[in-house]
Structure 1
Amino acid sequence: MSVSNSKFMGRIEVEFNQQNHAVVGGRGTGKSTILEYLRWGLCDQPVDNTDSDIAPVQIKRKKMIDDTLNKMDGEVIVMFLLNDVKHIIKRNSKTQEILLKIGDADFIQTTEQEVRNPFAVEAYSQKQLSSIGVRIEELKRFVELPIKQSLDQIRSDIRDTEAKIRTAYGKKIRKREIEIELAKYHLEITSLETQLATMRKALKGLSDSDQQIIKQKTQHDNEELIIENLKNNLTRVEELVGTLKSELDEGVGKPEDDLEVQNTALIKTIKRKYAAKFGDIRKQVAVLFDLFGSASLREIHDELKQWDKAKKDFDKKYEAAKAKAKVNQQQLKQIQAGEKRIAEIKKLQMANRNALTSLGETDTVYNDLRTKWNRSPRPKN
């Protein structure tokens, strides 16, 4: 460890023994200071909670760093070996910059947490050691530090499962809401259709052919709803295919080329096989994507034009038939309002059914995640 400058010790150079090292000196000669510089250089135990029972120790250490290093623009450099690989950490007290160098690589900028994760320090002052048995946080740190990486992985898995459970529960609730809405819409449509049928029968002054046209109104509205739903479904599938095509075009399936391997020839063959498979997939997806082009959809568009013409012709006949009815204007407005509301509800029903399809088996997904959660170990934070 080297310290560029400090308030009362000046420049410090210490080469520690790889197995065991003792710092000996009189009172006030800087023994604890050297160890605190080492801990600070390795980003050990920052002051992250002033209510903690070890906060006084942390605050005292921070004050010592501020008083002896910051005021002198001191920099701490810690060099150590892990499996014969040199690691260097540079920490500047003025800029708060932390740099890390591993082996022959260049220095990279990093953070305290990124240093602590792979290079956890199990360090205690004399007062901390004497308080391990009575301070919960110190005892917890003493027990957990040797298995920190395993605990971090468990916590990460738990957070991932927790997030998935929240999402799955949200979808589960949304599915129930949609089902309730569909039931409500069904009742409303049943009521409105019955009312409209009664009001249409009550129309006076209509010939048999006009009455027949009035009765066909619901069927034509259903046709419009079916076509609208088909268009929406096709658009949704087109978006899915487009997303898949974009991901494949951006390099999904391309192997890493900068990794060293032992079985070079075999890995090269495997890569080639996978590349060929992804190439086939790209070709098939491109074929799918072309199905949404104007040329491929020409026949559908031609049929839709015929239906549009038939619908417009019917609408004219329907409006003409209604105009012949010897009823007041208010009743006609009620019929039109009912027809409009039914059309709106049926569109909402279609949208809700599509949403249910997208949500999938929410109960199964949620229950599986809950089972995983109940079986997983959950260390306390």
Structure 2
Amino acid sequence: MRADHAVDVVIAVHSPARPVERAVRSALAGSDGLVRVTVVCHDVGITTIEERLALTPEEHEHVRLLGYSDHVRSPAGPFNFGLDNTSAELFAVLGSDDVLEPGAVRAWLDVARERGSDVVLAPLRGPDGERLRNPLVRPGTGRAGRRAATPLDPVADRLAYRSAPLGLLRRATVRRLGLRFTEGLATGEDLAFSVPLWFSGARIDMVPAGPAYVVGGSAQDRVTEVVRPVADELAALDDLLVRVLRDGGLADRMRPSERRALAVKVLRIHVLGALSRRSRREDWRDGDATALRAAARAWLDLALTAVHAFARADRAALDTLVGPESVSVEPDDGVLADAFTAAAQRRAKAGRVATLLPRDLPDVLDPESTLRRYVRYRMPW
């Protein structure tokens, strides 16, 4: 194993069915020998994964396998273990079902060295090769010219929408901020890692047209795709809000615009997303509706003006979720589930105007408005 690597790439694998050899070789491709890949064998034998990799003698110089066992179906533990065993100035995490385009790590490393980046965000591609516009950065980001060396802004470049810290990260920055993947969660283990990083004032760069991180689509056992009770589905958000934002003081360190941007993202993607997945009465389990109301209220409390960013259909759904400001007796969970089912159905059937335009027309100029997001998606990078 060579010791002159500049980047550590950590891959966690929990099953020999995963095509981990693709991930390993994609990280090494075009890296000019500057990458060390650490494969954390999570509750699976090292020998089993070693046989799957079938490394050449040259590849052996740049790949090591470490064993880790916690019997928890989450990548948080093995990723934290892998990061604890990094030594290079920069590191990246890579899913065992995902791949990097040739030369990706070297390209990100060049950017980090040129600009002194704490983070170089990876452009994303889906399994069919399409560019995934997440985050939805401002036009011209990363191109030659005026904005070529301008770092990303967490609000203007919508960093809150990128939950996974994919790309190149400076190890000293991550350790200074005390960032860890949250263990014990079934999903969302990366939120408490990424959100404090995006809003830390760290220098974050991205070249959207550069080599990408390609999200795999072949895995049949991704734990994040399992339908769960609302309390479990949103557990990571509750952890983020209570442990990181409130108790950890991050909310006090964030600008009002940053708290609002984060609240809008959570309400739009997670809270309304949970509602849309439950458009039939039988989709609701006991306690689901009560948990969803609590989440909607808590995140709206973080930034009360967040509602102005939403189109009419979304705003109406949020009004139903949040409910009246003060009532003497809260409806029971079954009554709430009936109301939320109807709200989900109305939202799904809403017309184009209600889906795009806000309740108050001046709010169409809101940076986070639905219409502005739609327009931005159709603009070139």
TM-score norm. by structure 1 comes to 0.17
By relative contact order (CA 8 Å, sep 6+), the higher-ranking structure is 1
Choose 1 or 2 for highest CA Rg: 1
Bigger helix fraction: 1
Q: Which has the higher strand share?
A: 2
